[in-house]
């Protein structure tokens, strides 16, 4: 499925999520399914929570005990394959990378989109950060309904045709 259509199967996606008990604290979900020579997620993590090793073709492994969900890996991944996830009472909080215009603003309501690019619900924009270190990749914090935990991956402007 990934190799033919470009999006992972539901099983592949679930395999990158830790258990719901662990997700009460924000954790990095690293959706890197393929061996490519790349390691910025590992070298950027200040808590050494992501391991790749000397062979940079290895897929990254997250140590959820060390991960604090800070989000540095989210804007460091050249493939934009990482999000941070935190399960709340009836919502899920995600921190996602975003590189398009218009830039979302706090308080706005945007479409919630799945890995196939389909609109699946609404995303409430909680916070948008851009520091010089992020080098133009916005870090957008959103809230979506809990049932979209394994579906949600990004946002889309409600004005988009």
Contacts with other proteins, residue ranges (CB under 8 A): 2-8, 31-40, 43-44, 54-57, 76-81, 99-101, 103, 113, 115-118, 135-137, 153-154, 156
CA dist list (Å): 18 to 41, 58, 73, 90: 18, 20, 17, 18
Q: What is the largest CA-CA distance in the chain?
A: 45
Rounded to the nearest whole angstrom, what is the least distance from the CB of residue 8 to other proteins in the complex? Answer: 7
Q: How far apart are CA 7 and CA 114, in angstroms?
A: 10
Please say which residue, 95 or 115, places its beta carbon nearer to other proteins: 115
Rounded to the nearest whole angstrom, what is the least distance from the CB of residue 20 to other proteins in the complex? Answer: 24
Please say which residue, 90 or 135, places its beta carbon nearer to other proteins: 135
Rounded to the nearest whole angstrom, what is the least distance from the CB of residue 58 to other proteins in the complex? Answer: 9
Please say which residue, 49 or 155, places its beta carbon nearer to other proteins: 155
CA distance from start to end of the chain: 27
Please say which residue, 12 or 22, places its beta carbon nearer to other proteins: 12
Contacts of 113 (CB under 8 A, 6+ apart): 119, 120, 152, 153, 154, 155, 156
């Amino acid at each position: 499925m990934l190799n033919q259509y470009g999006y992972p199967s539901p099983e592949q996606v679930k395999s990158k999520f830790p258990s719901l008990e662990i997700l009460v604290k924000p954790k990095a979900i690293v959706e890197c399914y393929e061996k490519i020579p790349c390691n910025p997620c590992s070298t950027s993590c200040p808590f050494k929570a992501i391991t790749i090793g000397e062979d940079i073709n290895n897929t990254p492994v997250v140590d959820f005990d060390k991960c604090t969900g800070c989000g540095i890996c989210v804007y460091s991944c050249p493939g934009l394959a990482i999000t941070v996830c935190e399960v709340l009472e009836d919502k899920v909080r995600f921190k996602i990378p975003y590189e398009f215009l218009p830039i979302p603003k706090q308080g706005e309501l945007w479409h919630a989109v799945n890995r196939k690019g389909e609109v699946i619900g609404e995303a409430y924009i909680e916070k948008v950060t851009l520091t010089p270190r992020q080098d133009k990749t916005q870090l957008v914090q959103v809230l979506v309904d809990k049932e979209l935990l394994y579906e949600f991956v990004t946002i889309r402007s409600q004005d988009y045709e």
